[in-house]
Chains A and B, each alone.
Chain A
Amino acid sequence: MSKKTLIVVGNGMVGHHFLEQFCASPAAADFEIIVFGEEKQLAYDRVHLSEYFGGSSHADLAMGTLEWYTEQGIQLHLNEQVTGINREHRTLETPRGGYRYDELVLATGSYPFVPPIKGNDRPHCLVYRTLDDLDTIRASSEGARTGVVVGGGLLGLEAANALKSLGLEAHVVEFAPRLMPVQLDADGGALLRHKIEELGVQVHTEKATTAITEGEDARLRMNFSDESFLETDLIVFSAGIRPQDALARASGLEIGERGGIVIDNHCTTSDPHVHAIGECALWEQKIFGLVAPGYTMARTLSSALNGDRDTAFTGADMSTKLKLLGVDVGSIGDAHAQTPGARNIRFNDEQAGHYRRMVISEDGKTLLGAILVGDNSHYDTLLQYALNGITLPENPETLILPESQGGAPALGPDALPETASICSCHNVTKGDICRAIDAGCSDLGSVKSETKASTGCGGCTALLKNVVDSELEKRGVEVSKDLCEHFPYSRQELFHLVKVNGIRTFRTLISQHGKGHGCDICKPAVASILAICWNEHILATDHVPLQDTNDTFMANMQKNGTYSIVPRIPGGEITPDKLIVLGEVAKEYDLYTKITGGQRVDLFGATLSQLPEIWEKLIAAGFETGHAYGKSLRTVKSCVGNTWCRYGVQDSVDMAIRLEDRYKGLRAPHKVKMAVSGCTRECAEAQSKDFGVIATENGWNLYVCGNGGMRPRHADLFATDLSDEELIRTIDRVVMFYVRTADRLQRTSVWMESLEGGLEYLKEVVLEDSLGIGAELEEHMEGIVGTYQCEWKTAVEDPEKRKRFREFVNAPSQADPVQEWTVERGQRRPVLESA
Chain B
Amino acid sequence: MKPRTRWEAVCTVDDLVPESGIAVWTEDGPVAVFYLPHRLPALFAISHSDPFSGANVLARGITGDLKGEPVVASPLYKQHFSLRTGVCLEDDTVRVKTYPVLLDGNQIRLEVRANQRESIAA
Q: A residues within 8 Å of B by Cβ?
A: 485-486, 507, 516-520, 522-524, 541, 544-550, 552-553, 557, 559-561, 608, 803-804, 806-811, 814, 816-818, 833
Contact = CB atoms under 8 A, between A and B. Distances in A.
Interface string B21-41: 011110001100000101100
B62 A524 contact: yes
Given A544-B17, A810-B11, A552 B60 contact: yes
A545 B11 contact: no
Given A486-B64, A548-B62, 10 more contacts: A517-B63, A517-B70, A518-B64, A519-B64, A519-B65, A519-B71, A524-B62, A808-B25, A808-B30, A818-B54
Contacts of B117: none
23 contacts: A485-B67, A516-B68, A517-B63, A519-B64, A519-B66, A520-B61, A520-B73, A520-B78, A524-B62, A544-B19, A545-B17, A549-B61, A549-B62, A552-B60, A557-B60, A559-B55, A561-B57, A608-B60, A810-B11, A810-B15, A810-B25, A818-B49, A818-B54
Contacts of A524: 62
Contact of B53 (A520, A559, A809, A810): A559
Interface string B48-88: 01000111110011111111101101011010100000000
B108 to A, nearest CB: 10
Contacts of A516: 64-65, 68
A121 to B, nearest CB: 74
A810 B60 CA distance: 16
Contacts of B19: 517, 544-546
B80 to A, nearest CB: 8
A803 B17 CA distance: 10
Contact of A808 (B24, B49, B80): B24
Contacts of B17: 544-545, 804
A485 B66 contact: yes
Looking at chain A's contact residues, the main secondary structure is loop
B55 A548 contact: no
Nearest to B77: A559
A545 B63 contact: yes
A559 B65 contact: no
A305 B90 CA distance: 57
A444 B49 CA distance: 41
Contacts of B20: 544-545, 552
Contacts of B54: 560, 818, 833
A552 B73 CA distance: 14
A607 to B, nearest CB: 10
B96 interface: no
Contacts of A549: 57, 60-62, 75
Contacts of A810: 10-11, 15, 24-25
Interface string B4-18: 000000110001011
Q: What's the dominant secondary structure at chain B's contact region?
A: strand
Contacts of A517: 19, 36, 38-39, 63-65, 70
Contacts of A518: 64-65
Contact of B56 (A519, A522, A550, A818): A818
Given A519-B65, A520-B61, A548 B49 contact: no
A523 B62 contact: yes
Nearest to A814: B25
Nearest to A519: B64
Nearest to B14: A803
B64 A523 contact: yes
A807 B31 CA distance: 11
Contacts of A806: 22
A546 B62 contact: yes
Contacts of B62: 519-520, 523-524, 545-549
Nearest to A807: B23
B94 to A, nearest CB: 14
A486 B65 CA distance: 9
A433 B41 CA distance: 50
Interface pairs A-B: 7 shortest CB-CB: A519-B64, A545-B19, A561-B55, A549-B75, A520-B73, A811-B25, A545-B20
A561 B24 CA distance: 15
A521 to B, nearest CB: 8
A811 B53 CA distance: 23
A803 B11 CA distance: 13
A680 B18 CA distance: 53
B8 to A, nearest CB: 10
A43 B29 CA distance: 73
A623 B93 CA distance: 46
B74 to A, nearest CB: 9
Contacts of B73: 519-520
Contacts of A559: 53, 55, 76
Nearest to A518: B64
A143 B18 CA distance: 68
A630 B24 CA distance: 27
Nearest to B8: A810
A608 B55 CA distance: 13
Contacts of B64: 486, 516-520, 522-523
Contacts of B75: 548-550, 557
A816 B60 CA distance: 14
A547 B62 CA distance: 7
Given A517-B39, A559-B76, A809 B15 contact: yes
B22 A816 contact: no
A798 to B, nearest CB: 14
Nearest to B34: A545
B55 A809 contact: no
Nearest to A833: B54
Identify the interface centre among B11, B38, B61, B64: most chain A CB within 10 Å of its CB. B64
Contacts of A545: 17-20, 62-63
Contacts of B23: 807-809
B58 to A, nearest CB: 10
B101 to A, nearest CB: 14
A544 B20 CA distance: 8
Contacts of B29: 817
A814 to B, nearest CB: 5
A255 B112 CA distance: 95
Contacts of A807: 23
A167 to B, nearest CB: 54
Contacts of A541: 18
Contacts of B38: 507, 517
Contacts of B36: 517
A519 B67 CA distance: 11
A519 B74 CA distance: 12
Contacts of A547: 62
A520 B55 CA distance: 19
Contacts of B22: 806, 809
A486 to B, nearest CB: 8
Contacts of B70: 517
B14 to A, nearest CB: 9
Contacts of A809: 11, 15, 22-24
Contacts of B66: 485, 519
Contacts of A817: 29
A297 B36 CA distance: 65
